[in-house]
């Protein structure tokens, strides 16, 4: 380890000051991102040992100003301190690489170590570009100017139907960073891709800080530590509207303005939808049709392929076959082929070997595409919370309005979740701006009119478009009907690009002014194509048409067909179809579209009820939880509480364990559970619910008695949210937070909530919650003050340390009402803990069950526990000492405690090695008339046949249940035990004994006594 750091140090020392500074600034954005994710204490400790920096003031800075601002400050301060600080900083990061295994850090360090002396040259090339001959230099300048005009403006749609003209902004001013992560996995989707990405989104928010590599645009064609090379072919995927085209536009703009990748002398930017009109062409033809001014120099430009990059945007919009497995390739820039062959030949480096290729696509397209030929596959995740807020600020350009709008959306679970998609942000902001303008003063009226569900959002969107047009109701209905049937055809058949032939087929009036409010044109006559402003607008109009132009046959066919697609392409369409059955949504559209069909909602609701029945029936035999959740979402969109109550109101228990839940899914639960009223248990184990999802879920908790949130990646920050839910919840009795990371400063908030007089929690499960000695004082406070807590499970934490005595003191306090303490696998309890643990046994008058599995109870600790167990004040009824390395020497102390204890009813000594001469002391104590033990567990204690007489002597005991599993006991000894003892239950060797094996007299006697459990 130190040898590697020393070699890394030597490599850094070889760089001159200017080169070292250049490298540092080149990686500046990566460093900020990495520092934000690292543990501050670990980083500062390393820095302290490797630099002369004074770091005291940084300890509190992160908490005061936030992780991102802290990272920016630290990275900039290091640079200002000069060479020694910079080298020390790099060494510190290198030393931390094995502990944090952050892919973002590894990528940076690998790029430095692997590229070595060539790194500075690469940076110089990326910043200053190649030396071109005079002819190429002129055409290079001309090409950049052309691309600057194409990419410098970001056209933003205005509110549809508005009299205003479309606004253009400089992309550098308007662009909000999109989060891109490395993601080489392309799986068959069982869900709508928009919803699938929503489910992954919050997980990636966490994983980009831990195991997912965050790819800023200037990293796309830089060192990839997973492949161990610089990639020349890159795929960037993302759901519709997430910003693929905008990111490509910004990529080209940054190249034009010299901000990144000057290593490429020429960038060629194409959109697949514009290439659809081309048939047999050559690569030379494709380039010259887009950039005719390159004709005289194109041959010279293409002579150096490594200086070229081809960008193809929108693979999913291509009508050409793109088979990356195909062996049909072309190698000549003049060879006539279809677009698919040319693109594949570029990607597979058969054509212009050494050039770089960047392609974007929707995930759905890639399911049937071999993407193994790409050296880097990345995914645009859209906006994380910080970027969402920035978008609102830039859209409204008015602080008061942007804060008002963002606050409303932040409080609305459904709308806020969909804000990860930039085009959704535009739709939401557009609708809210319309609402603000129509209700400028009456705040209560405004808030009640704002949309609550996705269906209501699009209803309001369409209503405001129609309100800004002058056409009459009949024209509105006619245009929307024709567009709607075409939209539905597209949804069912994965079509998002329509040509004039398809518009004619569905009688869509191209001359209608209303058309431009929903669809946009591409290309020039005679190859004009149309697409909806966003795929979800297409899905909404596809649902709306069934309410405008009712046909029972078409509706039933659409419902059946939509349900049949395994890729769930119609899931959002079905959500809208159910949502439009809400009568309040009709009323918004009625002034513009007249009366909608009254038959459609009846059929949709009947279909939904039938779907619910099918799901219930399926779930009796099959664990199809996602299907049930989909039904919940449909019910949520209807806003029909009576329908929910009628459909699922009698269900006492919902189990969605191991179903990945997005924050949007979580927001559905409050509505469903509030409508049901009778649900008592909600199991959400391993559902990937993190901070945003938990916030959405919280309102649902006031009706639940038993909640499991185990194994969800919840961190300390979630404790405050849980505390708030607990404080306001008078129903919750059991809470399972196991396998999360609860350790941290906010854990005290959770414990304070448990101490609240309004808290009713009786059972708290914190298995493997990363709790340490630091948590003991907070746990102690809760145990001393809680009026309700009866069971606490602290299994597999590391609570030993100086504060452990606080926890034990609280358990010994007369105010502690705990009845069951599970303290398994908490490390080796030190001898100093023995007296404190013993006090708990002897002083606590409420504690009935104590489990100390795997606690290595040896020496003074065991002696003290046995002394406490012998105390007349001990009230323990069940003691579990499995797997504690107890030996035959322990038997005497156990025997003495059993003789004296009057409360113990259940004793588990399994998985210890108790066989030996002292084992008779233990059996003697158990056979004593003073012993009250009824259930004895002796599984795998190394007992053999020679102990048969001893075991037979237990006939004088009070035992009703005996477990001798995993011991080496032969059949004839088993017979002796059966004849000697009068038990209700006996377990031996995991065997089920037949009537013939045991004998009818034994079977009869055992059945008479109660339970026959012989295996």
From the list 47, 59, 49, the residue with the least C-alpha distance to 89 is 47
What phi and psi, each to the nearest 5 degrees, are found at residue 314? 90, 55
Strand boundaries in 338-401, DSSP class E: 356-361, 376-382
* 10-20 confidence digits (pLDDT tens): 999 999 999 99
What are φ and ψ of residue 129, in 5° steps? 80, -170
Query: Per-residue confidence at 623, pLDDT binned at 50, 70, 90?
Result: low
For residue range 361-420, list pLDDT tens digits in order. 988 777 667 778 898 888 888 887 788 888 898 888 888 889 988 988 887 766 777 788
Q: How far apart are CA 232 and CA 613, in angstroms?
A: 53
| Bridge pairing between strands 734-736 and 706-708 | parallel
Is residue 718 scored above 90 in pLDDT? no
Is residue 833 scored above 80 in pLDDT? no
Residues 6+ apart with CB under 8 A from 281: 336, 337, 338, 339, 342
Residue 442: per-residue pLDDT: 61
Here the tokens at position 627 are 């299907």
Tokens coding 549: 């132009």
Find the mean pLDDT for residues 318-332.
88
* More confident site: 449 or 382: 382
Name which residue leads in pLDDT, 442 or 633: 633
How many Å apart are CA 627 and CA 624, to the nearest integer? Answer: 6
Helix, strand, coil shares of the chain as percentages rounded to 5? 55, 10, 35
Average pLDDT over residues 508-528: 81
Q: What is the mean pLDDT of residues 689-707?
A: 83
Residue 1003 has pLDDT above 60, yes or no: no
d(CA 527, CA 319): 13
CA 966 from chain center: how many Å?
Answer: 42
Dist CA 619 CA 644 (whole Å): 18
Q: How far apart are CA 127 and CA 259, in angstroms?
A: 7
- H/E stretch holding 311 reads strand 308-313
Residue with the larger pLDDT of the pair 456 and 702: 456
Question: Lowest-confidence range among 100-109, 114-123, 279-288?
Answer: 100-109
Distance between CA atoms of residues 230 and 268, nearest Å: 20
DSSP H/E element including 916: none
Between 890-900 and 860-869, two packed helices, what is the crossing angle to 10 degrees?
20
Q: What is the pLDDT of residue 886?
A: 92
Average pLDDT, the chain: 84
**pLDDT exceeds 60 at position 999:** no
Identify the weakest region by mean pLDDT among 170-184, 813-827, 922-936.
170-184
Q: What are 185's strand-pairing partners?
A: none
Summarize pLDDT for 737-759 with one digit per residue, the tens: 999 988 888 899 999 999 988 89
Q: Give the per-residue pLDDT at 186.
A: 43
The Cα-based distances of 264 to 356, 822, 842, 938, 939 in angstroms read 9, 63, 78, 74, 71
C-alpha span between 307 and 137 (Å, rounded): 13
- What's the mean pLDDT in 849-858? 88
Structure confidence at residue 847 (pLDDT): 95
Q: What is the rounded distance in angstroms from the CA atom of residue 669 to the CA atom of residue 657?
A: 14
**pTM of the predicted protein model:** 0.70
Q: Of 226-235, 474-483, 621-630, which one has max mean pLDDT?
A: 474-483
Query: Between 142 and 202, where is the model more confident?
Result: 142
Q: Please tell me the least confidently modeled range out of 165-169, 218-222, 468-472, 1003-1007.
A: 1003-1007
More confident residue, 330 or 469: 330
Q: By the 8 A CB rule, do 132 and 265 touch?
A: yes
Give residue 811's pLDDT band: very low, low, confident or very high (50, 70, 90): very high
The pLDDT value given to residue 945: 86
E strand segments, 314-432? 356-361, 376-382
Question: In DSSP terms, which residues pair with 237 in a beta bridge?
Answer: 361, 379
List the one residue out of 976, 939, 933, 990 whose CA is nearest residue 958. Answer: 933
pLDDT at 1004 over 80: no
What pLDDT is attached to residue 55?
80
Is residue 559 pLDDT above 90, yes or no?
A: yes
Mean pLDDT of 63-91: 89
**What's the DSSP call for residue 178?**
P
pLDDT number for residue 440: 56
Q: What is the pLDDT of residues 775-784, one digit of tens each?
A: 999 999 999 9
Give the DSSP H/E element, type plus range, for residue 963. Answer: strand 961-963
Q: Which of 459-468, 623-632, 876-885, 1004-1013 has the lowest mean pLDDT?
A: 1004-1013
Q: What is the pLDDT of residue 3?
A: 80
Query: Cα–Cα distance between 102 and 82 in angstroms, integer?
Result: 26
pLDDT for the residue numbered 164: 44
**663: helix, coil or strand?**
helix
Q: Does 206 score more than 80 pLDDT?
A: no
Residue 690 has pLDDT above 50, yes or no: yes
Confidence class for position 157, pLDDT limits 50, 70, 90: low
């Amino acid at each position: 380890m130190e040898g590697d750091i020393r070699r890394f140090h030597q490599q850094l020392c070889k760089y001159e000051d200017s080169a070292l500074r250049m490298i540092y600034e080149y990686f500046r954005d990566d460093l900020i991102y990495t520092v934000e994710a690292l543990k501050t204490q670990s980083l500062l400790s390393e820095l302290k040992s490797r630099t002369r920096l004074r770091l005291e003031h940084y300890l509190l800075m992160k908490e005061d100003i936030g992780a991102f601002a802290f990272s920016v400050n630290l990275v900039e301060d290091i640079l200002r301190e000069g060479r020694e600080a910079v080298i020390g900083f790099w060494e510190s990061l290198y030393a931390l690489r094995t502990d944090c295994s952050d892919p973002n850090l590894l990528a940076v360090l690998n790029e430095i170590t692997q590229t070595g002396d060539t790194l500075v040259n690469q940076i110089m090339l990326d910043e200053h570009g190649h030396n071109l001959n005079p002819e190429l230099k002129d055409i290079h300048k001309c090409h950049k100017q052309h691309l600057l005009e194409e990419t410098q403006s970001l056209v933003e749609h205005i509110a549809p139907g508005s009299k205003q003209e479309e606004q253009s902004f400089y992309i550098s001013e308007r662009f909000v960073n999109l989060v891109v992560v490395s993601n080489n996995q392309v799986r068959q989707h069982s869900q709508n891709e928009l919803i699938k990405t929503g489910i992954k989104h919050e997980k990636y928010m966490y994983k980009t800080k831990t195991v997912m590599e965050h790819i800023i645009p200037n990293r796309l064609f830089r060192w990839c530590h997973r492949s161990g090379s610089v990639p020349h072919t890159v795929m960037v995927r993302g759901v519709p509207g997430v910003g693929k085209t905008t990111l490509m536009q910004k990529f080209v703009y940054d190249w034009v303005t010299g901000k990144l990748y000057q290593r490429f002398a020429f960038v060629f930017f194409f959109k697949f939808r514009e290439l659809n009109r081309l048939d047999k062409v050559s690569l030379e033809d494709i380039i010259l049709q887009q950039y005719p001014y390159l004709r005289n120099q194109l041959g010279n430009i293409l002579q150096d392929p490594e200086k070229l990059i081809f960008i193809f945007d929108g693979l999913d919009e291509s009508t050409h076959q793109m088979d990356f497995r195909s062996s049909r390739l072309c190698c000549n820039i003049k060879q006539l082929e279809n677009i698919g062959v040319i693109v594949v030949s570029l990607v597979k480096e058969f054509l212009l070997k050494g050039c770089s290729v960047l392609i974007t696509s929707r995930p759905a397209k890639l399911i049937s595409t071999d993407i193994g030929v790409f050296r880097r596959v990345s995914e645009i995740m859209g906006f994380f919370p910080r970027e969402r807020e920035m978008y609102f600020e830039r859209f409204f350009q008015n602080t008061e309005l942007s804060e008002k709008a963002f606050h409303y959306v932040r409080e609305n679970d459904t709308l806020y979740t969909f804000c990860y998609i930039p085009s959704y942000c535009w739709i939401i902001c557009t609708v809210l701006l319309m609402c603000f303008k129509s209700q400028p003063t009456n705040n209560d009226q405004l808030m009640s009119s704002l949309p609550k569900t996705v269906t209501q959002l699009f209803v309001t969107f369409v209503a405001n478009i129609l309100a800004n047009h002058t056409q009459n109701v009949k024209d509105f209905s006619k245009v929307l009907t024709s567009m709607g049937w075409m939209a539905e055809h597209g949804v069912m058949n994965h079509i998002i690009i329509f040509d004039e032939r398809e518009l004619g087929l569905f009688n869509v009036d191209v001359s209608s002014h209303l058309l431009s409010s929903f669809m946009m044109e591409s290309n020039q006559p005679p190859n004009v194509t149309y697409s909806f402003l966003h795929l979800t607008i297409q899905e909404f109009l596809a649902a709306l048409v069934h309410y405008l132009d009712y046909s029972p046959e078409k509706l039933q066919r659409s419902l059946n067909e939509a349900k049949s697609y395994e890729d769930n392409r119609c899931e959002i369409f079905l959500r809208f179809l159910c949502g439009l059955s809400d009568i309040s949504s009709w009323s918004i559209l009625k002034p513009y579209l007249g009366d909608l069909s009254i038959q459609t909602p009846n059929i949709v609701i009947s279909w939904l009820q039938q779907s619910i029945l099918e799901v219930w029936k399926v779930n009796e035999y099959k664990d199809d939880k996602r299907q049930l959740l989909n039904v919940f979402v449909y019910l949520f969109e209807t806003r029909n509480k009576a329908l929910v109550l009628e459909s699922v109101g009698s269900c006492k228990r919902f189990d969605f364990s191991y179903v990945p839940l997005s924050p949007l899914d979580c927001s559905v639960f409050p509505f469903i559970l509030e409508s049901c009223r009778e649900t008592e248990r909600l199991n959400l184990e391993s559902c990937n619910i993190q901070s945003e999802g938990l916030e959405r879920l919280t309102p649902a908790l006031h009706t639940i008695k038993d909640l499991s949130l185990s194994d969800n990646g919840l961190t300390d920050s979630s404790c405050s949210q849980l505390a708030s839910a607990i404080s306001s919840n008078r129903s919750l009795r059991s809470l399972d937070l196991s396998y999360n990371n609860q350790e941290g400063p906010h854990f005290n908030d959770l414990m304070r909530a448990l101490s609240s007089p309004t808290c009713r929690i009786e059972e708290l499960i914190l298995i493997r919650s990363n709790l340490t000695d630091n948590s003991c004082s907070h746990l102690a406070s809760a145990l001393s003050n809680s009026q309700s807590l009866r069971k606490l499970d602290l299994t597999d934490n590391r609570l030993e340390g100086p504060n452990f005595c606080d926890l034990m003191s609280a358990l010994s306090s007369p105010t502690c009402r705990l009845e069951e303490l599970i303290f398994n696998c908490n490390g080796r309890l030190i001898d100093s803990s023995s007296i404190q643990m013993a006090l708990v046994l002897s002083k606590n008058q409420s504690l009935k069950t104590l489990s100390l599995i795997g606690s290595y109870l040896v020496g003074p600790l065991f002696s003290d526990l046995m002394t406490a167990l012998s105390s007349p004040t001990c009230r323990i009824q069940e003691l579990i000492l499995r797997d504690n390395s107890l030996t035959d020497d322990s038997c005497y102390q156990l025997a003495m405690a059993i003789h004296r204890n009057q409360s113990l009813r259940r004793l588990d000594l399994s998985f210890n090695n108790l066989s030996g001469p002292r084992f008779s002391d233990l059996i003697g104590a158990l056979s004593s008339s003073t012993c009250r033990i009824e259930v004895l567990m002796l599984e795998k204690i190394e007992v053999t046949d020679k102990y048969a007489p001893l075991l037979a002597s237990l006939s004088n005991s009070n035992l009703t249940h005996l477990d001798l599993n995993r011991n080496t006991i032969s059949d004839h000894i088993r017979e002796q035990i059966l004849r000697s003892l009068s038990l209700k239950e006996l377990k031996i060797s995991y065997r089920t004994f037949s009537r013939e094996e045991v004998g009818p007299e034994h079977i009869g006697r055992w059945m008479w006594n109660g339970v026959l459990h012989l295996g």
